[in-house]
Amino acid sequence: MQQTPLNAKHRELNAKLTDFAGWEMPIHYGSQIEEHHAVRREAGMFDVSHMLVVDLRGEAVRPFLRRLLANDVAKLTTTGRALYSCMLHEGGGVIDDLIVYFLREAWFRLVVNAGCADKDLAWLETQRDAHAPGLQIVPRRDLAMIAVQGPKAGEKLWAAMPGTRDLTEPLKPFSAVTVGDMFIARTGYTGEDGFEVMLPGRAAPYFWQALLEAGVKPCGLGARDTLRLEAGMNLFGQDMDERTTPFESGLAWTVDLKDPTRDFIGRDALLRLPRTRQLVGLLLLDKGVLRAHQKVHTAHGEGEITSGGYAPTLDASIALARVPAAVVVGDEVGVEVRDKRLRARVVKYPFVRNGKPLV
Amino acid sequence: MNIPTDLKYTKTHEWVRQEADGTVSVGITHHAQDLLGDMVFVENPTVGRQLAQNEECAVVESVKAASDVYAPVAGEVVAVNDAVESAPESLNKDPYGSWMFRLRPSNPADLEGLLDAAGYQALVESETH
């Protein structure tokens, strides 16, 4: 298994470690639920160094990305601005979801999922060779990444690293700034305010320690998953993958069709394919726990839960489910949980945002 | 690892306490709750149900996964602990104080086949190394 530069820190903190996409990562440091609440109420930090930063350099990088991504990087005109996008194959299925940052005209940065990193690089190289031979693709395995999340993320970050305050306090969501050898973005995967900090791997343990001493709670991938589910954020491999389109995955808002001349990969398929399925939120009405792959029965046919679990902020069970397109918010559906059929209501998601329940 | 010597154990990580009235209390071990993580849901069998030895009879669900609980001995369910259903986290905080259900054994010989603390310790070590 691969280890991040923070592996020794996780062991010092008695983390329960697990294999995640070939990386030895903390699942929790004692209690996943306490870590979840810390992020909703104060501040928590996650080692997300397993994710891959990829720098794209060259004069042709903007047109290359306008063709590669379903969202349109034409919107990125200010240094540090970021965009969430899917990268599709010709059939409209999702190869990966990612964040793209605009650094300057000849330099964009992608952050991609750990489990997709190898295939993403291969795809990028294939597309580069065919359409932008001069483009440099630089995987940045030298960088670690720490996400500091929660209503007090800023306060604690600035206590730990006072020199970062002037540049990071004015940051709007989905924008980033370079501070010395750190790249700090106001982004995250929790539904809270916070920052994702990319920095040299050798510096990461010192930064982690400073955050720890400032009172930021270490949080594992377990809490990261319940936080993102409450925030209604998709997880690649569960809520969408190569067999599903963004339209079937609650990600239509990330597909930019405004420029009819922009022929991005997957566009034709997206416009051609019938939209028979959709992703909806479910709130369990009976007692129990919704889980991925449970079958959903609706008045319009069957569906399946893609992500489900216990939502600590709501003290209830919630899920994302792929169901027939005719299902609407407010419908009651049945979910097969072991030998029972439990009742759930179709709800709008996100379920929680900035500490507040929305369902 | 916390394995009280006054209890009996199963290979499926239940603990069993013999009560003075001839019934047995059943819960899940410290090791089991540690593997599963924070508990969020418990479903006990109904009182009066007759269970065969090793029959699936209850479910505990953690943030991570659902896990079946098996009857350590054959017998009738004579009581269930509503407190663990309303506060599943008690299985994490005090696993040996948090019994889930009580059985009246129909075959006392079943008890003889259970593991003692040393036997359970050896089992856990063999599974974790």
Mean pLDDT of A261-280: 97
Cα separations (Å) of A230 from A265, B42, B55? 31, 22, 35
Q: Is the pLDDT of residue B129 over 90?
A: no
Q: Is the dihedral of CA B86, B91, B94, B96 positive or negative?
A: positive
For chains A and B, CB pairs below 8 A equal: 37
For residue B92, the chain A residues in CB contact (below 8 A) are 31
Closest Cβ opposite residue B38 in set A31, A287, A338: A31
Structure-token pair, residue A160? 């730990």
Does B63 reach chain A within 8 Å, measured CB to CB?
Answer: yes
Q: Which residue of A has its CA nearest to B63?
A: A310
- In this prediction, residue A208 carries a pLDDT of 98
| Residue in chain B lying closest to A29 (CA) | B37
At A190 the pLDDT is 98
Q: Which of A28, A31, A230, A289 has the highest number of chain B CBs within 10 A, making it the mutation to test binding with B?
A: A289
Mean pLDDT of chain A: 98
- Average pLDDT for B74-89: 97
Asked if A256 and A70 touch (Cβ cutoff 8 Å), the reply is: yes
Pairwise CB contact (< 8 Å): A309 & B41? no
Residue A237, pLDDT > 80, answer: yes
Within a domain: residue B113?
Answer: no
> Residues, chain A, total?
359
Residue B88, in any domain of the structure:
yes
CB contact under 8 A, A289 and B40: yes
A155-159 own/partner pairs: CB under 8 Å, 24+ apart: A155/A43, A156/A43, A156/A211, A156/A214, A156/A215, A156/A216, A157/A195, A157/A197, A157/A211, A157/A214, A159/A214, A159/A215
Q: Which of A27, A226, A288 sits opposite B41 (nearest CB)?
A: A288
Residues pairing with A282 in the sheet:
A319, A346
Of the pLDDT bands very low, low, confident and very high (cuts 50, 70, 90), residue B1 is confident
CB nearest A309 (choices: B63, B89, B92) = B63
Does residue B2 lie within any of the structural domains? Answer: no
- Asked whether residue B52 carries a pLDDT value surpassing 90, the answer given is yes
Cα separation, B115 vs A54, in Å, equals 54
CA dist A267 and B79 (Å) reads 61
* β-pairing verdict for A44-47 and A217-218: parallel
Pair of tokens at residue B68: 């079946």
Within-domain flag for B34: yes
A132 pLDDT band, cuts 50/70/90, is very high
**Residues A215-235 pLDDT 10s:** 999 999 999 999 999 999 999
> Rounded distance, CA A110 to CA B94, Å?
46
Q: Is residue B78 part of a domain?
A: yes
CA distances from A339 to A190, A283, A295, A344, B57 (A): 33, 19, 12, 16, 12
The average pLDDT across A71-77 equals 98
Do A32 and B41 count as a contact with CB atoms less than 8 A apart? Answer: no
What pLDDT is recorded for position B51?
A: 98
Write the residue in B41, B59, B63 that is nearest to A226 by C-beta: B63
Average pLDDT over residues A248-256: 98
Angle, CA of B63, B66 and B68, to the nearest 5°: 145
B41 touches chain A (CB under 8 A): yes
**pLDDT above 80: residue B124:** yes
* Residue B118 forms contact with A (CB below 8 Å): no
Query: What are the counts of helices (DSSP H) followed by strands (DSSP E) for chain A?
Result: 9, 21
**What percentage of chain B reaches a pLDDT higher than 90?**
96
DSSP of A271-334: HHS---EEEEEEEE-SSS---TT-EEEETTEEEEEEEEEEETTTTEEEEEEEEETT--TT-EEE
For residues A284 and A317, the answer to whether their CB atoms sit within 8 Å is yes
Q: What was the pLDDT predicted at A272? A: 97
| Confidence at residue B8, expressed as pLDDT on a 0 to 100 scale | 98
Q: Judge whether A73 and A65 are in contact, CB under 8 Å.
A: yes
**Residue B4 belongs to a domain:** no
pLDDT of A68 higher than 80? yes
Question: How many angstroms separate the CA atoms of A125 and A129, rounded?
Answer: 6
Partner-chain contact A222 B64, CB within 8 Å = yes
The alpha carbon of A345 is separated from its chain's Cα centroid by a whole number of angstroms, namely 25
When CB atoms are compared, the residue of B63, B65, B66 closest to A33 is B63
CATH code, B32: 2.40.50.100
State whether A310 and B40 contact (CB < 8 Å): yes
Percent of all residues in chain A with a pLDDT value above 70, rounded to a whole number? 100
Say if the Cβ atoms of A289 and B61 lie within 8 Å: yes
- Identify whether B69 is part of a domain: yes
B74 CA to chain A: closest CA distance, Å? 22
A161 pLDDT band, cuts 50/70/90, is: very high
Cβ-based interface (< 8 Å): residues of A facing B: 16, 27-28, 31-33, 222, 226, 287-289, 291, 309-310, 317, 338
pLDDT tier for residue A287 given thresholds of 50, 70 and 90: very high
For residues A160 and A215, is the Cβ–Cβ distance under 8 A?
no
What is the average pLDDT value for chain B, to the nearest integer?
Answer: 96
Closest CA to B5 of B119, B98, B117: B117
Domains present along chain A, CATH in parentheses: 276-357 (2.40.30.110)
pLDDT tens per residue, range B13-30: 999 999 999 999 999 999
Distance to chain B for A315, nearest Cα, Å: 9
Beta bridge partners of A175: A81
Q: Is B58 a member of any domain? A: yes
Q: Please determine, for residue A93, whether its predicted confidence score (pLDDT) is greater than 90.
A: yes
Residue B65 structural domain: 12-108
CA A308, CA A296: separation in Å to the nearest integer?
12
pLDDT of A309 higher than 90? yes
Q: Cα dist. A335→A5, A279, A303 in Å?
A: 42, 15, 9
Predicted confidence at residue B128, as pLDDT, reads 81
Residues of B in contact with A32 (CB under 8 A): 37-38, 63-64
Tokens of B39: 């508990």
Query: Is residue A119 over pLDDT 90?
Result: yes
- Tell me how many domains chain B contains: 1
- Choose among A157, A65, A158: nearest CA to A108: A65
Read off the amino acid at residue B62: S
**H/E stretch holding A149:** strand A143-149
CA angle, residues B72, A310, A218, in degrees to nearest 5 = 100
Q: What is the pLDDT of residue A337?
A: 96
> How many Å apart are CA B68 and CA B12, to the nearest integer?
9
Q: Which of A17, A29, A310 to mutate to test the interface with B (most CBs of B within 10 A)?
A: A310
